[in-house]
Amino acid sequence: GQNIDQPTEMTATEGAIVQINCTYQTSGFNGLFWYQQHAGEAPTFLSYNVLDGLEEKGRFSSFLSRSKGYSYLLLKELQMKDSASYLCAVRLNDYKLSFGAGTTVTVRA
């Protein structure tokens, strides 16, 4: 089976930085995705890492260490609209995605 762990909830203040960690143990690995999902909506693609290192996209950055089975999503300059669930997903060798349970981020004024 696949094991993907991420914290259940995180709370941060508007303008702050939050780091969401994801650790994984899977039968294969073909990349790691981060998605944002607002309540009642579909997941929206944020980032994709297949090689080790940091990928930066505006206020969002994602890091991957394949040897450690570890990734994080960094959200900078938090805004109220960033309140959402953030899903870590590992793509397996057959291109299927295996999802973590999701981290609910609440941004407070």
Other Cβ atoms less than 10 A from the Cβ of 97: the count is: 16
The encoded tokens of residue 101 equal 């349970």
Would you say 16 or 50 has its CB closer to another protein? 50
Among the listed ranges 19-27, 33-41, 53-61, 62-70, the one in contact with another protein (CB under 8 A) is: 33-41
Burial pattern 55-72, b for ≥16 Cβ within 10 A else e, equals: beeeebbbbbeeeebebb
Site for another protein (CB under 8 A): which residue of 43, 64, 69, 84? 43
**β-pairing, 103-108 with 9-13?**
parallel
Site string for another protein, 56-95 (x = CB under 8 A): -------------------------------x-x-x--xx
Residue located via tokens 């973590």: 100
Interacting residues with another protein (CB under 8 A): 31, 33, 35, 41-45, 48, 50, 87, 89, 91, 94-102
